[in-house]
């Protein structure tokens, strides 16, 4: 009798844990989580299909209860829980999970809303025709190896003799120990085309195969954005594919109510839960993270999916849709990880390698099937040769059998007398008397001849690889004609990365910056056009010692360049500037730009696109001017970029965009103006860290107050005009000149204004005194703005107290340079106009750049 101490085996815990965990990990990897690269199936799926094949549940036989199949699988092949088996069976029957379902389900097998299937005692199933003909055919022909089941009572296949690349057809996903797989589904027809192309050209690359297999084909349809993720996945085995649902924008009619735009979603990305998506959208709307949605409902039925998202009347449908793509599972990524078992070991496969592994397996399968058929044919022909010997010696053999003592004696005498094998002798002894007729004898001879031809053909197949490849091509052609269907997922060639501008409407906006550095953005629609000489609306609630300093109009997608008095440039996107109401103060600009409290923004320039043929013209307080290529400011660092070099005491004041053929018009506080070309002769391009040249000679006490740009075609017309009243000092103006645009809009601080034809401002040389632009009605009045305007333009004026008025320029009289102008805005007390800006042209349908 042994003691307890003698039964204990000492062992190192570290080694035992390492060995046991490694065995467990390999068991999970090989026996549960990863598919075989040959038939694309995990053990549980393979066992279910084989059990159904054994039960005879083919596509042309009646359905059987799923519980019967699950019981068969559990009892014979898969010693695990019934839930795991039933869940795997259900997934193989779901047309929204499998691109080509392997099981034909009858009953409730779940839905895309993640509804659970009915219990296995209620549902029924059978094999699909594709499964029978493409995965299980020839399984009895010694095409694959079998292994004992868990208790040794049954034999189960290690792999199914697949005729299609099932690994790519329906994909696979699973998590093992330390590794995982996630393979997307593909289109059957495309896979078979790619397989044929690989057979004909074994040197094809992954990228060349993409001509036949452009990308995954998901059962739920949808879209794939871009091909870079597909290319990476096919070449390396890993990649991220961006999936997007299919949505359209429609107008829905309501009885008794105004029509509304709505987003109609008809297809979802693969593995997206429809009910969860709707719930997510509703939550985000309630939390105000999604704007513009009025109602959402699910109108899906047996005819297809239809999710209706009704929009508010002021919403931009495309912007709302882009936000849905950005913030909800309506757009998702599929992380491809093409890991599968090759010869029992996990390998990361590319597209070509996946097809090559299947092709090698298919060649092996056909070779084994051919050997099996050859062996059976030779065995049958061997028997027939014995029967032919018997028929040739019929009387003697009958005599031998009749006089033999027993069967054993007759067998031995046949073998000895006619050099027959034991199998042939048994066949002769078992021959029926009806086989002795002349007709039956002829049939035996005919069958022997046919078998000889068959045997020769089978041997030729085994000797020539090209014959096997031809057979694979023939199989592929038959399968494609019988089971292939059109692609469901559309591949968009452009990458679908959504940037901020896709999510923001490109609306017209006003940007207002006060003297104390408060900035805000307001929609232009906040201010309706008003009649001339009215008071206007308050645009900001400012402190008593604050006032509006900069004021411009742009679109929300524009880049806004800020230039400080120190000659430094900064950049923000217009939509990054916080919006504010008419009465809000705004956000301190020091919170948005890396400037000190002493540094002041002196000019703001909106830029929609940084083109190579445009320049920035800069004018300093002391009258130095220069032009620099706009492209030099396309990439401004976060801490700013030097725009101009300044001498001691000078400041950068005005920056405008211009082309080389344009001209520049500058106004001074005392009402003087100068007009000269911006060409390289008058103003050659300079780099950023340079000072510039003299722009205008000023009288004592005068200062520069504005600068604007005239387009080249206007400049040419001025130069060619012989009737231009360039030295006109009278207030009279010909009717022809009144109607000739563009005009120089001249606004005084006292609220007076006029339009003057630009032909009244002749071209001069740079650095001159210039011409008088207006005669002031009051001696203390001064020029507030000199700006170029065209017919149908609108302007917005702002006063030092933050009062804004919007007007059409046609409401302002056209007068000569010597006139005093008309009242354009009624001012209170000591208020004065400080800035004028043009309203950007309205877009036709929706904001530019919104897709």
Token pair of 505, please? 């409407």
pLDDT score at 254: 74
pLDDT score at 732: 60
- Supply the mean pLDDT for the chain: 87
Ordered structural domains, the chain, with CATH: 41-161 (3.90.199.10), 246-329 (3.30.1360.40), 363-467 (1.10.268.10), 506-838 (2.120.10.90)
pLDDT score at 32: 76
pLDDT of 727 strictly over 60: no
- Catalytic residue positions, numbered: 122
Confidence class of residue 473 from pLDDT cuts 50, 70 and 90?
A: very high
pLDDT score at 848: 34
Report, as an integer, the average pLDDT of 36-54: 95
**93-119 pLDDT, tens per residue?**
999 999 999 999 999 999 999 899 999
**269-298 pLDDT, tens per residue?**
999 999 999 999 999 999 988 888 999 999
Report, as an integer, the average pLDDT of 298-303: 89
pLDDT of 495 strictly over 60: no
Confidence class of residue 680 from pLDDT cuts 50, 70 and 90?
A: confident
Q: Which long-range contacts (CB under 8 A, 24 or more apart) does 419-422 make?
A: 420/386, 420/389, 421/382, 421/386
pLDDT score at 590: 81
Confidence class of residue 681 from pLDDT cuts 50, 70 and 90?
A: confident
**Comparing 171 with 28, which gets the higher pLDDT?**
171
The helix (H) or strand (E) run that includes residue 371 is: helix 351-392
Q: Lowest-confidence range among 297-311, 534-548, 749-763?
A: 534-548
Rounded to 5°, angle at Cα 837 from 834 and 842: 155
pLDDT score at 322: 87
Nearest to 559 by CA among 501, 513, 628, 499: 501
pLDDT of 193 strictly over 90: yes
pLDDT more than 90, % of the chain: 51
Output DSSP code: residue 117: P
CB within 8 Å of 736: residues ≥ 6 apart = none
The whole-angstrom separation of Cα 616 and Cα 606 is 11
The whole-angstrom separation of Cα 784 and Cα 787 is 10
The helix (H) or strand (E) run that includes residue 386 is: helix 351-392
Q: What pTM did the predictor assign? A: 0.69
Q: Lowest-confidence range among 22-26, 317-321, 403-407?
A: 22-26
Confidence class of residue 79 from pLDDT cuts 50, 70 and 90?
A: confident
The whole-angstrom separation of Cα 459 and Cα 464 is 9
CB count in 10 Å sphere of residue 619: 24
pLDDT score at 843: 44
pLDDT score at 12: 84
pLDDT score at 850: 29
**424-472 pLDDT, tens per residue?**
889 888 888 777 777 778 888 999 999 999 999 999 999 999 999 999 9
CB within 8 Å of 425: residues ≥ 6 apart = 386, 410, 411, 414, 415
CB count in 10 Å sphere of residue 745: 23
pLDDT of 844 strictly over 60: no
The helix (H) or strand (E) run that includes residue 232 is: helix 228-236
**209-248 pLDDT, tens per residue?**
999 999 999 999 999 998 899 999 999 999 999 999 999 8
**362-396 pLDDT, tens per residue?**
999 999 999 999 999 999 999 999 888 888 888 88
Confidence class of residue 845 from pLDDT cuts 50, 70 and 90?
A: very low
Confidence class of residue 779 from pLDDT cuts 50, 70 and 90?
A: confident
CB within 8 Å of 18: residues ≥ 6 apart = none
Report, as an integer, the average pLDDT of 612-639: 89
């Amino acid at each position: 009798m042994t003691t307890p101490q003698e039964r204990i085996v000492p062992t190192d815990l570290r080694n035992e844990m390492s060995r046991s965990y490694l065995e467990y990990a390999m068991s999970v990897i090989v026996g549960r989580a990863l598919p075989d690269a040959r038939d694309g199936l995990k053990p549980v799926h393979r066992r279910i299909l084989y059990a159904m094949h054994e039960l005879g549940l083919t596509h042309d036989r009646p359905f059987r209860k799923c519980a019967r199949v699950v019981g068969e699988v559990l009892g014979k092949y898969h010693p695990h829980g019934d839930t795991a088996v039933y869940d795997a069976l259900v997934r193989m029957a779901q047309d929204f999970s499998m691109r080509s379902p392997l099981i034909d389900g009858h009953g409730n097998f779940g839905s895309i809303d993640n509804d659970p299937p009915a219990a296995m005692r209620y549902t029924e199933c059978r094999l699909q025709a594709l499964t029978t003909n493409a995965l299980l055919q020839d399984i009895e022909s010694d095409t694959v190896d079998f292994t004992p089941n868990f208790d040794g009572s049954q034999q189960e296949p290690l792999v199914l003799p697949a005729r299609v690349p099932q690994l790519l057809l329906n994909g696979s996903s699973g998590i093992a120990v330390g590794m995982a797989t996630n393979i997307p589904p593909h289109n059957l027809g495309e896979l078979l085309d790619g397989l044929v192309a690989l057979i004909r050209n074994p040197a094809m690359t992954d990228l060349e195969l993409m001509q036949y297999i452009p990308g995954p084909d998901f059962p739920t349809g949808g879209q794939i954005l871009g091909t870079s993720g597909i290319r990476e996945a096919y070449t390396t085995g890993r990649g991220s594919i961006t999936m997007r649902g299919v949505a359209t924008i429609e107008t829905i009619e309501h009885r008794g109510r105004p029509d509304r735009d709505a987003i109609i979603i008809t297809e979802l990305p693969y593995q997206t839960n429809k009910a969860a998506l709707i719930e997510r959208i509703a939550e985000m709307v309630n939390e105000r993270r999604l704007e513009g949605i009025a109602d959402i409902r699910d109108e899906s039925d047996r005819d297809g999916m239809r999710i209706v998202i009704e929009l508010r009347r002021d919403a931009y449908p495309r912007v709302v849709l882009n936000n849905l793509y950005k913030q909800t599972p309506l757009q998702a990524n599929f992380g491809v990880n093409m890991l599968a078992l090759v010869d029992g070991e996990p390998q990361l496969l590319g597209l070509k390698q996946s097809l090559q592994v299947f092709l090698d397996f298919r060649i092996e399968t056909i070779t084994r099937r051919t050997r099996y058929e050859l062996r059976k044919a030779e065995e049958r022909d061997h028997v027939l040769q014995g029967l032919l010997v018997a028929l040739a010696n019929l009387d003697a053999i009958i005599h031998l059998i009749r006089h033999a003592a027993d069967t054993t004696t007759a067998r031995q005498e046949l073998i000895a007398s006619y050099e027959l094998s034991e199998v042939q002798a048994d066949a002769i002894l078992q021959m029926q008397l009806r086989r002795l007729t002349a007709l039956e004898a002829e049939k035996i001879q005919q069958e022997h001849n046919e078998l000889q031809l068959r045997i020769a053909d089978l041997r030729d197949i085994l000797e020539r690889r090209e014959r096997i490849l031809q057979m694979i091509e023939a199989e592929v052609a038959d399968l494609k004609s019988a089971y292939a269907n059109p692609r469901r997922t559309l591949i968009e060639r452009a990458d679908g990365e959504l940037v901020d501008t896709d999510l923001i409407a490109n609306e017209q906006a006003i940007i207002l910056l006060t003297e104390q550095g408060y900035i805000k953005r307001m929609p232009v629609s906040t201010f309706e056009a008003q009649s001339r000489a009215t008071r206007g609306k308050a645009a900001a609630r400012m402190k008593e010692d604050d006032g509006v300093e900069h004021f411009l109009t742009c679109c929300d997608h524009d880049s806004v360049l800020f230039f400080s008095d120190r000659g430094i440039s900064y950049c923000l996107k217009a939509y990054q500037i916080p919006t504010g109401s008419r009465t809000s103060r705004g956000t301190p600009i020091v919170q948005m730009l890396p400037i000190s409290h002493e540094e002041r923004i002196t000019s703001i320039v909106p830029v929609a696109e940084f083109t190579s043929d445009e320049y920035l013209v800069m004018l300093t307080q002391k009258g130095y001017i220069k032009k620099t290529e706009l492209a030099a400011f396309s990439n401004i660092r976060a801490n700013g970029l030097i725009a101009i070099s300044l001498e001691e005491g000078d400041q950068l004041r005005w920056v405008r965009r211009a082309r080389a053929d344009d001209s520049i018009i500058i106004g001074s506080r005392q009402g003087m103006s100068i007009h000269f070309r911006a060409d390289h002769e008058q103003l050659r391009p300079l780099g950023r860290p340079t000072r510039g040249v003299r722009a205008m000679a000023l009288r004592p006490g005068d200062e520069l107050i504005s600068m604007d740009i005239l387009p080249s075609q206007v400049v040419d017309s001025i130069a060619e005009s012989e009737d231009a009243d360039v030295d006109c000092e009278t207030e009279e103006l010909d009717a022809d000149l009144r109607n000739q645009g563009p005009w120089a809009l001249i606004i005084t601080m006292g609220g007076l204004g006029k339009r003057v034809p630009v032909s009244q401002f002749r071209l001069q040389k740079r650095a001159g005194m210039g011409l008088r632009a207006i005669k002031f009605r009051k001696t203390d009045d001064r020029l507030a703005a000199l700006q170029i305007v065209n017919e149908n333009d609108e302007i917005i004026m702002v006063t030092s107290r933050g009062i804004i008025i919007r007007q059409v320029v046609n409401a302002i009289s056209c007068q000569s340079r010597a006139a005093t102008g008309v009242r354009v805005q009624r001012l209170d007390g000591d208020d004065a106009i400080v800035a004028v800006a043009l309203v950007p042209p309205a877009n036709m349908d929706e904001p530019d750049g919104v897709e």
